[in-house]
Structure 1
Amino acid sequence: MPEVKKHSSRPRITTRLKRANGHLAAVINMIDEGRPCNEIAQQLHAVEKAVSNAKRALIHDHIDHCLEPGEDGKIVDTKSFKDITRYL
Protein backbone atom coordinates (compact mmCIF):
# COMPACT_ATOMS: atom_id res chain seq x y z
CA MET A 1 0.00 0.00 0.00
CA PRO A 2 1.44 3.43 -0.92
CA GLU A 3 2.49 5.84 1.77
CA VAL A 4 -0.30 8.25 2.76
CA LYS A 5 0.84 11.87 2.70
CA LYS A 6 -0.97 14.47 4.76
CA HIS A 7 -1.07 18.07 3.65
CA SER A 8 -2.35 21.26 5.20
CA SER A 9 -5.30 21.39 2.79
CA ARG A 10 -6.71 18.01 3.82
CA PRO A 11 -8.64 19.29 6.87
CA ARG A 12 -10.33 21.94 4.69
CA ILE A 13 -11.24 19.28 2.13
CA THR A 14 -12.67 17.08 4.86
CA THR A 15 -14.70 20.00 6.18
CA ARG A 16 -16.11 20.66 2.70
CA LEU A 17 -17.09 17.02 2.30
CA LYS A 18 -18.72 16.86 5.73
CA ARG A 19 -20.74 19.96 4.85
CA ALA A 20 -21.76 18.38 1.53
CA ASN A 21 -22.73 15.21 3.39
CA GLY A 22 -24.98 17.25 5.68
CA HIS A 23 -26.58 18.96 2.70
CA LEU A 24 -27.14 15.61 1.00
CA ALA A 25 -28.89 14.30 4.13
CA ALA A 26 -31.08 17.41 4.05
CA VAL A 27 -31.94 16.72 0.40
CA ILE A 28 -33.02 13.19 1.30
CA ASN A 29 -35.27 14.64 4.00
CA MET A 30 -36.68 17.14 1.49
CA ILE A 31 -37.59 14.25 -0.83
CA ASP A 32 -39.21 12.32 2.02
CA GLU A 33 -41.20 15.45 2.99
CA GLY A 34 -42.45 15.90 -0.57
CA ARG A 35 -40.82 19.28 -1.10
CA PRO A 36 -41.04 20.89 -4.57
CA CYS A 37 -38.71 19.46 -7.20
CA ASN A 38 -37.14 22.85 -7.98
CA GLU A 39 -36.05 23.24 -4.34
CA ILE A 40 -34.63 19.71 -4.29
CA ALA A 41 -32.81 20.25 -7.59
CA GLN A 42 -31.31 23.49 -6.29
CA GLN A 43 -29.98 21.74 -3.19
CA LEU A 44 -28.67 18.80 -5.22
CA HIS A 45 -26.84 21.26 -7.43
CA ALA A 46 -25.23 22.79 -4.33
CA VAL A 47 -24.15 19.32 -3.12
CA GLU A 48 -22.73 18.49 -6.54
CA LYS A 49 -20.72 21.75 -6.65
CA ALA A 50 -19.41 21.19 -3.12
CA VAL A 51 -18.18 17.68 -3.97
CA SER A 52 -16.71 18.89 -7.26
CA ASN A 53 -14.83 21.71 -5.51
CA ALA A 54 -13.50 19.28 -2.90
CA LYS A 55 -12.31 16.94 -5.65
CA ARG A 56 -10.59 19.80 -7.46
CA ALA A 57 -8.87 20.93 -4.26
CA LEU A 58 -7.67 17.37 -3.60
CA ILE A 59 -6.27 17.05 -7.13
CA HIS A 60 -4.52 20.41 -6.90
CA ASP A 61 -3.12 19.37 -3.52
CA HIS A 62 -1.75 16.18 -5.08
CA ILE A 63 -0.17 18.07 -7.95
CA ASP A 64 1.35 20.67 -5.61
CA HIS A 65 2.69 18.26 -2.99
CA CYS A 66 3.07 14.78 -4.44
CA LEU A 67 4.54 15.35 -7.87
CA GLU A 68 8.18 16.35 -7.76
CA PRO A 69 9.64 18.33 -10.64
CA GLY A 70 12.89 17.03 -12.13
CA GLU A 71 16.00 19.11 -12.69
CA ASP A 72 14.55 20.37 -15.98
CA GLY A 73 11.34 21.48 -14.21
CA LYS A 74 9.23 18.77 -15.82
CA ILE A 75 7.14 16.41 -13.73
CA VAL A 76 9.11 13.21 -13.14
CA ASP A 77 6.17 10.92 -12.35
CA THR A 78 4.04 11.49 -15.44
CA LYS A 79 2.01 8.32 -14.82
CA SER A 80 0.84 9.64 -11.45
CA PHE A 81 0.05 13.00 -13.05
CA LYS A 82 -1.98 11.37 -15.82
CA ASP A 83 -3.73 9.11 -13.32
CA ILE A 84 -4.91 11.98 -11.12
CA THR A 85 -5.89 14.35 -13.94
CA ARG A 86 -8.36 11.90 -15.44
CA TYR A 87 -10.65 12.84 -12.55
CA LEU A 88 -10.79 16.50 -13.53
Structure 2
Amino acid sequence: MDVVSVVNGEAESWAEVLNRLRRAQGQLAAVITMIEAGRDRKDVVTQLAAVSHALDRAGFKIVAEGIRQCLTERQQGHVPPLSEAQLEKLFLSLA
Protein backbone atom coordinates (compact mmCIF):
# COMPACT_ATOMS: atom_id res chain seq x y z
CA MET A 1 0.00 0.00 0.00
CA ASP A 2 1.52 3.34 -0.97
CA VAL A 3 1.40 6.62 0.94
CA VAL A 4 -1.22 8.14 -1.38
CA SER A 5 -3.58 5.21 -0.76
CA VAL A 6 -3.15 5.54 3.00
CA VAL A 7 -3.77 9.30 2.92
CA ASN A 8 -6.81 8.92 0.65
CA GLY A 9 -8.14 6.10 2.83
CA GLU A 10 -7.70 8.26 5.92
CA ALA A 11 -9.46 11.18 4.27
CA GLU A 12 -12.38 8.95 3.31
CA SER A 13 -12.59 7.56 6.85
CA TRP A 14 -12.61 11.03 8.39
CA ALA A 15 -15.25 12.11 5.87
CA GLU A 16 -17.44 9.20 7.01
CA VAL A 17 -16.91 10.13 10.66
CA LEU A 18 -17.76 13.77 9.96
CA ASN A 19 -20.93 12.73 8.11
CA ARG A 20 -22.01 10.63 11.10
CA LEU A 21 -21.28 13.49 13.49
CA ARG A 22 -23.17 16.00 11.35
CA ARG A 23 -26.12 13.62 11.26
CA ALA A 24 -25.97 13.32 15.06
CA GLN A 25 -25.76 17.10 15.35
CA GLY A 26 -28.94 17.44 13.29
CA GLN A 27 -30.67 14.78 15.35
CA LEU A 28 -29.66 16.52 18.57
CA ALA A 29 -31.02 19.82 17.28
CA ALA A 30 -34.28 17.99 16.56
CA VAL A 31 -34.35 16.63 20.12
CA ILE A 32 -33.91 20.14 21.53
CA THR A 33 -36.70 21.43 19.28
CA MET A 34 -38.95 18.56 20.36
CA ILE A 35 -38.40 19.35 24.04
CA GLU A 36 -39.01 23.06 23.48
CA ALA A 37 -42.24 22.20 21.64
CA GLY A 38 -43.42 19.99 24.49
CA ARG A 39 -43.38 16.76 22.49
CA ASP A 40 -44.12 13.42 24.06
CA ARG A 41 -41.32 11.99 26.19
CA LYS A 42 -41.40 8.71 24.27
CA ASP A 43 -40.69 10.53 20.99
CA VAL A 44 -37.91 12.59 22.61
CA VAL A 45 -36.21 9.53 24.10
CA THR A 46 -36.47 7.68 20.77
CA GLN A 47 -34.70 10.54 19.01
CA LEU A 48 -32.15 10.83 21.82
CA ALA A 49 -31.35 7.13 21.41
CA ALA A 50 -30.75 7.77 17.70
CA VAL A 51 -28.29 10.54 18.58
CA SER A 52 -26.49 8.27 21.01
CA HIS A 53 -26.28 5.50 18.41
CA ALA A 54 -24.89 7.88 15.78
CA LEU A 55 -22.20 9.09 18.20
CA ASP A 56 -21.29 5.52 19.12
CA ARG A 57 -20.95 4.58 15.46
CA ALA A 58 -18.65 7.55 14.86
CA GLY A 59 -16.50 6.55 17.83
CA PHE A 60 -16.30 2.93 16.72
CA LYS A 61 -15.31 4.04 13.23
CA ILE A 62 -12.47 6.14 14.68
CA VAL A 63 -11.22 3.21 16.78
CA ALA A 64 -11.49 0.79 13.84
CA GLU A 65 -9.43 3.14 11.68
CA GLY A 66 -6.87 3.41 14.47
CA ILE A 67 -6.57 -0.38 14.54
CA ARG A 68 -6.16 -0.45 10.74
CA GLN A 69 -3.51 2.26 10.90
CA CYS A 70 -1.57 0.41 13.59
CA LEU A 71 -1.64 -2.83 11.60
CA THR A 72 -0.44 -1.02 8.49
CA GLU A 73 2.36 0.71 10.41
CA ARG A 74 3.51 -2.60 11.90
CA GLN A 75 3.45 -4.33 8.50
CA GLN A 76 5.68 -1.56 7.17
CA GLY A 77 8.09 -1.97 10.10
CA HIS A 78 7.12 1.30 11.77
CA VAL A 79 6.07 1.97 15.32
CA PRO A 80 2.27 2.45 15.39
CA PRO A 81 0.96 5.74 16.82
CA LEU A 82 -1.09 3.89 19.47
CA SER A 83 -0.37 0.78 21.48
CA GLU A 84 -2.80 -2.11 21.75
CA ALA A 85 -3.54 -1.05 25.33
CA GLN A 86 -4.34 2.51 24.20
CA LEU A 87 -6.65 1.25 21.46
CA GLU A 88 -8.38 -1.10 23.89
CA LYS A 89 -8.88 1.77 26.34
CA LEU A 90 -10.38 3.92 23.56
CA PHE A 91 -12.69 1.11 22.53
CA LEU A 92 -13.83 0.44 26.07
CA SER A 93 -14.44 4.13 26.70
CA LEU A 94 -17.28 3.87 24.16
CA ALA A 95 -18.97 1.04 26.08
Please report the TM-score for the alignment, with normalisation by the length of structure 2: 0.70
Amino acid at match of 2:41: C
Question: Are residues 1:87 and 2:93 paired?
Answer: yes
Distance 1:70 1:15, change over 3 A: closer
Larger helix fraction of residues: 2
In the aligned structure 1, how far is the partner of 2:85 from the partner of 2:75? Answer: 14
Question: Is 1:57 aligned to residue 66 of structure 2?
Answer: no
TM-score norm. by structure 1 comes to 0.75
CA RMSD of aligned residues (A): 2.4
User: Runs ≥4 in structure 1, deviation > 6 angstroms?
Assistant: none
Structure 1 residue aligned with 2:25: 21
Q: Does 2:25 match 1:32?
A: no
Identity rate of aligned residues, in percent? Answer: 32
**Deviation string for 1:37-61 (max 9, x for gaps)?**
0000000000000000110011001
User: What count of residue pairs does the alignment treat as equivalent?
Assistant: 80
Structure 2, unpaired ranges of 5+: 1-6
